[in-house]
Amino acid sequence: MAPSSHKNKNESAAAEIVLKLKQAGFEAYFVGGCVRDMLLNKQPSDFDVATSALPDQVEALFSKTIPVGKAFGVIIVQIKGAAIEVATFREDLGYTDGRRPKDIRFSSAKEDALRRDFTINGLYYDVERKKVVDWVGGQKDLELKIIRTIGDPFKRFEEDKLRMLRAVRFSANLDFPIEAETLKAIQAMKDQIVCVSMERVRDELVKMFCGNNPDKGLMLLHESGLFEALYPEAVFMNRCSAVLPEGTTATGVQLLTNI
């Protein structure tokens, strides 16, 4: 797989960052959603870079940087009119708030891949060699068109509860089913979604309902149990649907009110 022949600004900037990091003796790859989208023959809007370079080394190599998440190894590099997130390979060491790691350890590219959410998001792309690097089976799951967590789904969702909602969004937007064990874990852990801030929930719902398959998203919210966990009052409202205007559902009212 090679990047598109019609590079956008972000792709050109990210490629320049990767090559400069490699010329300085570091490992560096495109990572995550941009690799997934290129393999699906879609033009990514955002490009992220993962590298063996430590945050201080990234800052020393590029003239314009923003230390947005330096404690977690994340630096924004501004280049060619673009702002590209550059993250040091890391391993997350425990979670305390269902969102952020309690501590991290800078590590290898493979360990960096293993901490990510879904196999299709755990792919790396070597710009120089024009080769996909896959430690998690993401290419196979793209071929199978399936959403599957990397490793134990219970562990992945315990680390960040929002990943349950992200699974639903990716399933709806890509029209990929959720793998059986991954879906079972969501159904078992659905009540923990209330630990996530409504701002983060809202952002995921907006991305899902602005996608190309919102009806499937709504169906999956119900199938997974996440809708009832997020909006328990809507269950009662549906039982009282006779009081709503004709053609209006409590589900629609509730979602539109809360997004």
Tens-binned pLDDT, residue by residue, of the chain (259 aa): 544 544 688 999 999 999 999 999 999 999 999 999 999 999 998 999 999 999 999 999 999 999 999 999 999 999 999 999 999 999 988 776 666 777 789 999 999 999 999 999 999 999 999 999 999 999 999 999 999 999 999 999 999 999 999 999 999 999 999 999 999 999 999 999 999 989 999 999 999 999 889 999 999 999 999 999 998 876 555 555 544 445 444 454 455 455 5
Structure tokens, 147:
């959403």
Question: Which pLDDT score, from 0 to 100, does residue 45 have?
Answer: 85
CA–CA dist 141, 137 (Å, integer): 6
CA–CA dist 44, 4 (Å, integer): 10
Structure tokens, 144:
């199978």
Question: Which pLDDT score, from 0 to 100, does residue 231 have?
Answer: 87
Quickly list H helices, the chain.
9-23, 33-39, 55-61, 109-114, 138-144, 153-159, 162-174, 180-189, 198-209, 214-224, 226-230, 232-239, 250-258
Question: Which pLDDT score, from 0 to 100, does residue 95 have?
Answer: 73
Question: Which pLDDT score, from 0 to 100, does residue 250 have?
Answer: 46
Phi, psi (deg, nearest 5) at residue 40: -90, 10
Q: Residue 50, CB half-sphere, CA atoms under 13 Å: how many? A: 27
CA–CA dist 13, 118 (Å, integer): 26
| Residue 57 buriedness (CB in 10 A; 0-12 / 13-18 / 19+) | middle
Question: Which pLDDT score, from 0 to 100, does residue 256 have?
Answer: 45
Domains of the chain in sequence order: 9-144 (3.30.460.10), 153-258 (1.10.110.30)
- Cα 220 to the center of its chain, rounded Å: 18
